[in-house]
């Protein structure tokens, strides 16, 4: 099929994201003319028409991105944007979006082709592309194999190469003769409808080691098993099958292995577009996937002294199902779940199965099914919190205030926690286990001591987290769950979004007079894993300590979770700062202020808001209830430097 005369005149800079190269141009005189050209076989017109039809109503009436009807008799246009997305317009109303990326010189579509596999319902292009990504990464990406341990295998795996194609079985790896130790790791949303047969419990463990019928599993698991077979791998690790769900001891032991499971997987298959087991790892219906492709080629001539060089430039164009395709990973259900953060962050290779495409992610390459050679745009708004090689070594006695490596590691850790705290957990008691894999990796790389979601070398800065969100909104309310026994000085004690708003102040000089001395930071594990659930913890610390009132006055212009910090002066009460309470139920009128940090450039002081713990005979024992910010240092002049314990 050849391009129509109009499509042959499309300039290549239409597909540039450079500000100076962006352009707009008229195309067919109206939508019926575009339809006729597409019907006559022009692939570019077909892509443009497909992009428009994604937004048409039930009667086929074109609609703009704002849902307004558009007159199809008006002029069709194309325009570029700085975001790398192109728009198909009618009468300058945006109707559908395109993306075009240059095809690399020497690219052969045959490298991602695959023969149709028997008993496989997966399109060969998807299988072939995934195989090519894996082969390219394993054979050519040294960065992606840097921390790989080829001898590691999880305690249990699902063997997908059984004698019966409709069955798989659970194997205990220490008892299995494994010639090939490669395994796929699964990342998925459990949802509320997980079949009982898709979970291993003590009662069905023997049965599962004998045989598991694939038809008794969820669609997502069935698709992952099929994909594992298609790429020539024998084993897949699926949490609900490989961990005995009703055994606390087994769950704790296996949860402590999450870092190893995902960091040593051959590839992680992520059911990104599915909120439960029914969605599977498949592309959506025809309206949900990309339209195309159309290849546009230009002959480019350059005059190099007296030698005239000519070369061909080809751009491959697809029509997008929606402009939000560039941000689809942030919208996928999987990215909203707590456990799946570390599954992505720790995996050297991830194949994200969204409804509109398959997206590949490793340390060296980011690509999509449409543009398998490279496609970074979908990841620009969904970058990983850190790269595996980013964590810097630390000296044993290094601290946040005197070592740039500690500051940079802390910045990464705070980013991890901030992202994690925005996600949901079915059981809030999992708050520390669900991030323990990343914590264990950090501790291994840095040699740092870890307690309740914080690292010892980060010192007082680690304590200056703040809860985000307004209490006026029901969904924004934070709480301190009773089933989570993290100490109050840990962000993990609060169910809510947290951040370190001062986390980039590390390089600024600090006023040491306001810096406390941490005498002891300790936690008591609830089981055998120090990175997992806790039975309690305490922080023994010496620093500036003073009482204050926390009041809400007319005209203060404060958020619902804030109060003014008031102290007594010569003229009565005066405002010296603001306290943000961690949870609504703990807001009170009298707090004890404990200084954590003062940076000298702007003079901001961060202090903990504390209340007595209420335990008998513990007059110097407190609990955290919030964080105070102040620029007034004068009210600290009468503060006492004392030793207290925070639980």
Q: What is the DSSP string of 526-543?
A: SSS-TTS-EEEEEEEEEE
* Residue-averaged pLDDT of the chain: 91
Edge to edge, what strands does the sheet with 156-159 contain? 212-213, 167-172, 156-159, 235-237, 183-187, 267-270, 349-353, 358-362, 366-368
CB 269 within 8 A of CB 237: no
For 1, how many CA atoms within 13 A lie in the half-sphere containing its CB? 18
Find, among 294, 379, 362, 328, the residue nearest to 103 by Cα: 294
pLDDT band at residue 115 under the 50/70/90 scheme: confident
Q: What is the pLDDT of residue 18?
A: 78
Q: Are strands 183-187 and 267-270 parallel, antiparallel or unpaired?
A: parallel
Label residue 129 exposed, middle or buried (CB < 10 Å: 0-12, 13-18, 19+). buried
| Residue tagged 């620029």 (tokens) | 631
Q: What distance in Å separates the CA atoms of residue 383 and residue 387, rounded to the nearest whole number?
A: 10
Find, among 254, 157, 284, the residue nearest to 208 by Cα: 157
C-beta neighbour count of 570 within 10 angstroms:
5
Q: What distance in Å separates the CA atoms of residue 226 and residue 165, rounded to the nearest whole number?
A: 10
Does 63 score more than 60 pLDDT?
Answer: yes
For 59, residues 6+ apart whose C-beta sits below 8 A from its C-beta are none
Query: Average pLDDT for residues 240-263, to the nearest whole number?
Result: 96
Does 471 score more than 60 pLDDT?
Answer: no
Does 335 score more than 60 pLDDT?
Answer: yes
Report the Cα 103 to chain-centroid distance in Å: 29
Q: What is the pLDDT of residue 507?
A: 72
Label each residue of 210-223 as H, E or C. HCEEHHHCCHHHHH
- The answer for 404, left when phi > 0, alpha when psi is -120 to 50, beta otherwise, is alpha
Q: What distance in Å separates the CA atoms of residue 237 and residue 254, rounded to the nearest whole number?
A: 12
Label each residue of 408-440 as H, E or C. HHHHHHHHHHHHHHCCECCCHHHCCHHHHHHHH
CB 578 within 8 A of CB 564: yes
The reported pTM is 0.91
pLDDT band at residue 287 under the 50/70/90 scheme: low
**110 three-state secondary structure:** helix
Report the Cα 343 to chain-centroid distance in Å: 9
pLDDT tens, 549-594? 999 888 788 888 899 999 987 778 899 999 999 998 899 999 999 9
Q: What is the pLDDT of residue 60?
A: 73
Which tokens is 249 given?
Answer: 């001891």
Find, among 76, 85, 86, the residue nearest to 38 by Cα: 76
CB 96 within 8 A of CB 83: no
What is the share, in percent, of the chain residues with pLDDT greater than 90?
74
Q: What is the pLDDT of residue 305?
A: 56
**Bridge partner list, 184:** 236, 267
Does 475 score more than 70 pLDDT?
Answer: no
Biggest CA-to-CA distance, the chain: 93
Does 470 score more than 80 pLDDT?
Answer: no
pLDDT band at residue 636 under the 50/70/90 scheme: very high
Q: What distance in Å separates the CA atoms of residue 213 and residue 234, rounded to the nearest whole number?
A: 16
Which tokens is 471 given?
Answer: 């209490």
Q: What distance in Å separates the CA atoms of residue 478 and residue 498, rounded to the nearest whole number?
A: 10
Q: What is the pLDDT of residue 47?
A: 97
């Amino acid at each position: 099929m050849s391009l129509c005369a109009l499509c042959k005149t499309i300039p290549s800079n239409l597909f540039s994201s450079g500000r100076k190269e962006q352009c707009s141009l008229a195309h067919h005189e109206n939508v019926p003319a575009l339809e006729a050209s597409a019907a006559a076989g022009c692939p570019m017109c077909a892509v443009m028409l497909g992009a428009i039809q994604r937004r048409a109503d039930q009667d086929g009436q074109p609609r703009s991105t704002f849902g307004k009807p558009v007159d199809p008799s008006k002029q069709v246009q194309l325009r570029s944007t700085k975001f790398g997305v192109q728009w198909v317009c009618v009468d300058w109303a945006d109707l559908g979006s395109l993306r075009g990326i240059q095809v690399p010189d020497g690219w052969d579509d045959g490298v991602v082709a695959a023969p149709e596999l028997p008993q496989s319902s997966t399109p060969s292009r998807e299988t072939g592309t995934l195989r090519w990504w894996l082969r390219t990464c394993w054979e050519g990406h040294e960065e992606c194999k840097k921390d790989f341990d080829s001898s590691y295998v999880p305690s249990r795996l699902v063997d997908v190469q059984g004698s019966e194609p409709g069955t798989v079985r659970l194997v205990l790896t220490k008892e299995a003769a494994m010639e090939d130790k490669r395994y796929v790791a699964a990342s998925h949303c459990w949802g509320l409808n997980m079949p009982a047969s898709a979970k291993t419990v003590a009662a069905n463990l023997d049965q599962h080691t004998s045989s598991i019928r694939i038809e008794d599993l969820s669609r997502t698991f069935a698709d992952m098993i099929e994909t594992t077979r298609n790429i020539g791998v024998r084993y897949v690790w699926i949490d609900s099958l490989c961990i005995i769900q009703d055994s606390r001891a087994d769950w704790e032991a296996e949860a402590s292995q999450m870092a190893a499971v995902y960091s040593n997987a051959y590839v992680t298959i992520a059911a990104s577009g599915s909120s439960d087991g029914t969605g599977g790892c498949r592309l959506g219906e025809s309206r949900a996937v990309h339209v195309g492709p159309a290849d546009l080629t230009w002959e480019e001539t350059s005059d190099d002294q007296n030698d005239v060089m000519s070369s061909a430039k080809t751009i491959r164009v697809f029509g997008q199902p929606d402009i939000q395709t560039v941000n689809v990973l942030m919208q996928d259900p999987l990215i909203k779940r707590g456990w799946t953060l570390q599954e992505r962050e720790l995996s050297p290779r991830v194949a994200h199965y969204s409804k509109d495409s398959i997206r590949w992610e490793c340390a060296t390459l980011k690509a999509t099914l449409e543009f398998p050679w490279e496609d970074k745009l979908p990841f620009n708004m969904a970058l990983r919190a850190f790269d595996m090689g980013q964590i810097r070594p630390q000296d044993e006695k290094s601290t946040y205030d005197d070592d740039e490596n500690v500051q940079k590691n802390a910045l990464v850790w705070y980013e991890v926690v901030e992202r994690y705290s925005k996600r949901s957990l079915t059981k809030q008691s999992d708050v520390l286990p669900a991030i323990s894999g990343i914590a264990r990796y950090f501790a291994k790389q840095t040699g740092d001591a870890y307690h309740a979601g914080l690292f010892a070398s980060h010192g007082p800065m680690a304590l200056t987290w703040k809860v985000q969100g307004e209490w006026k909104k029901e969904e924004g309310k934070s709480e301190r769950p009773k089933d989570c026994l993290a100490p109050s000085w840990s962000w993990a004690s609060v169910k809510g979004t947290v951040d370190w708003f001062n986390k980039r102040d590390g390089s600024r000089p600090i006023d040491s007079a306001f810096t406390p001395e941490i005498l002891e930071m300790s936690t008591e594990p609830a089981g055998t894993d120090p990175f997992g659930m806790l039975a309690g913890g305490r922080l023994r610390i010496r620093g500036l300590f003073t009482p204050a009132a926390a009041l809400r006055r007319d005209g203060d212009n404060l958020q619902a979770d804030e109060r003014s910090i008031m102290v007594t002066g010569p003229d009565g009460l005066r405002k010296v700062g603001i306290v943000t309470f961690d949870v609504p139920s703990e807001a009170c009128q009298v707090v004890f202020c404990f200084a954590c940090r003062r940076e000298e450039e702007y003079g901001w002081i961060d202090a903990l808001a504390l209340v007595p713990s209420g335990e008998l005979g513990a007059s110097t024992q407190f609990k955290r209830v919030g964080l105070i910010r102040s620029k007034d240092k004068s009210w600290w002049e009468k503060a006492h430097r004392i030793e207290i314990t925070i639980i």
